[in-house]
């Protein structure tokens, strides 16, 4: 046959496609057609029922109710190492530097093993330092230009940063250093004093700043004016006929002299009561000399 021929399955005069017979069932010789829409309508309630049953009857049925009962608090096991926080509590020793167990020798290839855990800086040990910032009353920052060595072993390395506080006196600025910071970042409490590099006396020489110098100059100036006004007055005395009356010029000079002398005295009193402030320039070299630690009652 040259023409295309199609094959149909016919049942009681009806035409069906391949596989459509699965939707038909027969009981007692009777024919019944199952509707797809009815199957979908029944499938949804069945799925909901199965989901509810699964939710209520699945899982651990023996779970106990822990409401209102004591619970164990989780604690750290002894096997877990506890690391203490690095907070300074004031009990750390002053002038004691921790030494690493393994250090590099002078040649750079030899490893030196130290048996000591820390090294105490003897009182009187010294090293040369320089001011990184200008020094006056308050915080002072400096840096070591030479290592502080004890028995040939460097305890404070070159380049270590020093922090302290300055306090002015009549002629010098006294600086007490309280902390040393290594180039590696480690910091240690120390107690060292700054000595002048010229005469090696406690305290750094500097210039007087502030209003005290101005008050001194004003007091001297008013004193000179008062003396000049007093000297310009004409000498007046008593004659046989009575006391001579002073002229207006002499009275004005006398008043100016008294006012100038009084103002000079006021500035002198303020100068005595005002503190002296010493300023030391940045880059000034000095000697750091280790002092003994303070006692607790100090």
pLDDT tens per residue across all 298 residues of the chain: 455 666 555 555 555 555 455 555 544 444 455 555 666 666 667 777 777 666 665 555 554 555 556 656 555 454 544 444 443 444 556 767 665 544 555 445 554 444 445 578 889 999 999 999 889 999 999 999 999 988 888 889 999 999 999 999 888 999 999 999 999 888 889 999 999 998 999 999 998 876 655 656 655 555 555 555 555 556 555 554 555 556 656 656 566 666 666 666 666 666 666 677 889 999 999 999 999 887 655 5
Type and span of the H or E element at 35: none
| Residue 138 located in a structural domain | yes
What is residue 275's DSSP assignment? P
Domain count, the chain: 1
pLDDT in tens, 274-285: 677 889 999 999
Could you give the angle at the alpha carbon of 154 between the alpha carbons of 149 and 155, nearest 5°? 90
| Residue 173 located in a structural domain | yes
Tell me the pTM. 0.48
d(CA 182, CA 189): 11
DSSP line for the chain: --S-----EEETTEEE-TTGGGGEEEETTEEEEPPHHHHHHHHHHHHHHHHHHHHHHSS-TT----TTS--PPP---TTSPPPPP----S-SPTTEEE--SEEE-TTSS-EEE---SEEEPPTT-EEEEEESS-BSSEEEEEEESS-EEETTEEEE-TT-EEEEEEEE-SSEEEEEEEEEE-TTS-EEEEEEEEEETTT--BBEE-EEESSHHHHHHHHHHHHHHHHHHHHTSPP--EETTEEPPPPHHHHHHHHHHHHHHHHHHHHHHHHHHSPPEEEB-TT-EEEEEE-PPPPTT-
d(CA 206, CA 210): 13
SS3 202: strand
d(CA 155, CA 147): 7
Tokens of 291: 């002092």
Other beta carbons within 10 angstroms of residue 54's beta carbon come to 10
Contacts of residue 146, Cβ cutoff 8 Å, sequence gap at least 6? 127, 128, 158
Domain range for 131 is 96-208+281-290
Tokens of 36: 């797809």
- Give which of 285, 232, 281 is closest to 257, Cα–Cα: 232
CATH of the domain at 134: 2.40.128.260
pLDDT in tens, 100-138: 544 555 445 554 444 445 578 889 999 999 999 889 999
Do 94 and 187 form a contact (C-beta atoms < 8 A)? no
| Residue 255 located in a structural domain | no
| Residue 261 located in a structural domain | no
| Residue 90 located in a structural domain | no
| Residue 81 located in a structural domain | no
Q: What is the pLDDT of residue 96?
A: 72
- Give which of 3, 97, 84, 74 is closest to 290, Cα–Cα: 97
d(CA 59, CA 21): 43
Q: What would you report as the CA-atom Rg of the chain, rounded to the nearest whole angstrom?
A: 51
| Residue 268 located in a structural domain | no
For tokens 């509590």, name the residue: 89
pLDDT in tens, 10-47: 555 555 555 455 555 544 444 455 555 666 666 667 77
SS3 63: coil
| Residue 187 located in a structural domain | yes
d(CA 149, CA 290): 12
């Amino acid at each position: 046959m040259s023409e295309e021929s199609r094959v149909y399955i016919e049942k009681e005069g009806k035409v069906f496609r391949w596989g459509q017979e699965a939707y038909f069932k027969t009981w007692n010789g009777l024919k019944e057609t199952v509707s797809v829409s009815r199957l979908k309508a029944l499938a949804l309630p069945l799925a909901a029922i199965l989901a509810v049953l699964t939710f209520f009857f699945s899982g651990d049925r023996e779970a106990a109710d822990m409401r209102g009962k004591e619970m164990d608090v989780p604690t750290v096991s002894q096997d877990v190492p506890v690391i203490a926080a690095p907070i300074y509590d004031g009990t750390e020793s002053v002038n004691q530097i921790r030494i690493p167990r393994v250090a590099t020798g002078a040649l750079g290839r030899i490893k030196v093993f130290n048996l000591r855990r820390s090294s105490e800086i003897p009182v009187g040990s010294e090293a040369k330092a320089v001011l990184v910032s200008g020094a006056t009353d308050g915080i002072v920052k400096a840096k070591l230009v030479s290592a502080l060595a004890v028995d040939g072993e460097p305890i404070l390395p070159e380049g270590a940063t020093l922090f302290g506080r300055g306090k002015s006196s009549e002629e010098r600025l006294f600086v007490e250093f309280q902390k040393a910071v290594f180039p590696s970042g480690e910091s240690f409490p120390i107690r060292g004093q700054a000595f002048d590099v010229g005469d090696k006396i406690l305290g750094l020489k500097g210039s007087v700043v502030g209003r005290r110098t101005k008050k001194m100059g004003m007091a001297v100036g008013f004193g000179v004016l008062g003396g000049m006004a007093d000297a310009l007055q004409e000498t007046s005395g008593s004659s046989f006929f009575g006391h001579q009356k002073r002229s207006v010029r002499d009275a004005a000079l006398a008043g100016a002299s008294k006012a100038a002398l009084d103002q000079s005295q006021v500035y002198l009193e303020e100068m005595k009561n005002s503190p002296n402030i010493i300023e030391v320039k940045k880059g000034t070299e000095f000697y750091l000399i280790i002092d003994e630690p303070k006692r607790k009652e100090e």
